[in-house]
């Protein structure tokens, strides 16, 4: 087996969650940053919440508000298709 090819193993690597919770695990990196942990994950807490680190949900809501409702578009398309079929 080759010597010095394996990374150093840290038995006390610090894990830091976005919610502020910290705990230690074994890893090859000394510090790990995560978005969800067992204290804030909806599966473990039983509470539904949106996890939006990049603002994607808000951007989608802004685009949807600007363009109008999606159901309105479907209704308009259906009316146009019906009108086109009636004209034939």
Highest mean pLDDT among 34-38, 60-64, 75-79: 34-38
Query: Which residue ranges make up each domain of the chain?
Result: 1-50, 52-88
Confidence band of 40 (pLDDT split at 50, 70, 90): confident
Residue 16: the pLDDT is: 94
* CATH architecture for the domain at 1-50: Irregular (4.10)
Q: In what order do the strands lie in the sheet with 22-27?
A: 22-27, 10-17, 31-34
Q: Is the pLDDT score of 70 beyond 60?
A: no
Nearest to 37 by CA among 56, 55, 22: 22
Residue 81: the pLDDT is: 83
């Amino acid at each position: 087996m080759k010597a010095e090819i394996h990374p150093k193993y840290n038995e006390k690597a610090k894990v830091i969650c976005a919610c502020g919770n910290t705990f230690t695990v074994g890893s090859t990196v000394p510090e790990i940053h995560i978005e969800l942990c067992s204290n804030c994950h909806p599966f473990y807490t039983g509470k539904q919440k949106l996890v939006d680190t990049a603002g994607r949900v808000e951007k989608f809501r802004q685009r949807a508000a600007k363009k109008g409702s999606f159901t309105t578009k479907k209704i308009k398309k259906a009316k146009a298709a019906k009108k086109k079929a009636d004209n034939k």
